[in-house]
């Protein structure tokens, strides 16, 4: 995930408007979703 901020920045600069994130099956989906959402929101 270390390259994700650079990838998203470059995508936005080149006109990308929508991003889709895939989540694997996890034991506690609500916790995993919040953690992922919080991380992506911080970018």
Report yes or no: 6 and 43 within 8 Å, Cβ to Cβ: no
How would residue 1 be classed by pLDDT, with cut points 50, 70 and 90? Answer: low
User: pLDDT digit string (tens) for 16-37?
Assistant: 999 887 778 899 989 998 998 8
Split at pLDDT 50, 70, 90, the class of 12 is: very high
Query: Residue 40: is its pLDDT beyond 90?
Result: no
Structure confidence at residue 24 (pLDDT): 82
Instruction: Check residue 9 and give its pLDDT.
Output: 92
Residue 32, classified by CB atoms within 10 Å of its CB into exposed (0-12), middle (13-18) or buried (19+), is middle
Q: What residues does each domain of the chain span?
A: 1-8+24-43
Q: What is the pLDDT of residue 31?
A: 93
């Amino acid at each position: 995930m270390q390259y994700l901020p650079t990838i998203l920045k470059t995508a936005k600069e080149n006109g990308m408007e929508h991003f889709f994130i895939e989540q694997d099956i996890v034991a506690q989906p609500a916790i995993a979703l919040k953690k992922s959402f919080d991380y992506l929101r911080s970018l």
